[in-house]
Amino acid sequence: ATGADDYVVKPFSLPELIARIQALLRRAKPGHVAGLLAAGDLELDRTTRRVRRAGAELHLGPTEFRLLEFLMQAPGRVYSRAQLLDAVWGRDVYIDERTVDVHVGRLRKAITPANAKDPLRTVRGAGYAFDETFARS
């Protein structure tokens, strides 16, 4: 969302510029800085297409990356398999909804080291979510 704070007419004073930057920062979502999604010890960098957990780089396939990116954008929101298929694979792809289960399983395996908390939550009969409690940890 853009607003009046995004436009500065020259000449401008330094205090005015600082006030506008502070207003933009107040509106910014936490964990969403310059293409970076962060929750707990998990970071997804949209620019470099890299994922890290506790500082260690993780290797995800392109589908698992898109799936994690989509889920991390709205922690706590539950998405059905059909919604995930549309968002991650596209509307014009005709594949079985159980494909989502396979990719969520692969994603879980890649991002959850032994004895670590799983950031993905399965909601029986509804779908999957990025765990909002993980996002706050």
Tens digits of residue pLDDT in 69-113: 999 999 999 999 999 999 999 888 788 889 999 999 999 999 998
Q: Where are the domains of the chain?
A: 1-29, 32-136
**Which fold does the domain 32-136 belong to in CATH?**
Arc Repressor Mutant, subunit A (1.10.10)
CA distances from 16 to 7, 8, 26 (A): 11, 9, 15
- Would you place residue 3 in the very low, low, confident or very high pLDDT band (cuts 50, 70, 90)? low
| C-alpha to C-alpha distance for 104 and 63, rounded to whole angstroms | 10
Q: How many Å apart are CA 53 and CA 65, to the nearest integer?
A: 13
Contact status, residue 135 vs residue 39, Cβ threshold 8 Å: yes
The 3-class SS string of the chain reads: CCCHHHCCCCCCCHHHHHHHHHHHHHHCCCCEECCEEEECCEEEECCCCEEEECCEEECCCHHHHHHHHHHHCCCCCCECHHHHHHHHHCCCCCCCCHHHHHHHHHHHHHHCCCCCCCCEEEECCCEEEECHHHHHC
Residue 24 reports pLDDT greater than 80: no
The predicted pLDDT at position 137 comes to 63
Q: pTM (2 decimals)?
A: 0.74
- Give me the mean pLDDT over the 2-20 stretch: 72
**Is residue 44 very low, low, confident or very high in pLDDT (cuts 50, 70, 90)?**
very high
Distance CA 54, CA 81 (A): 29
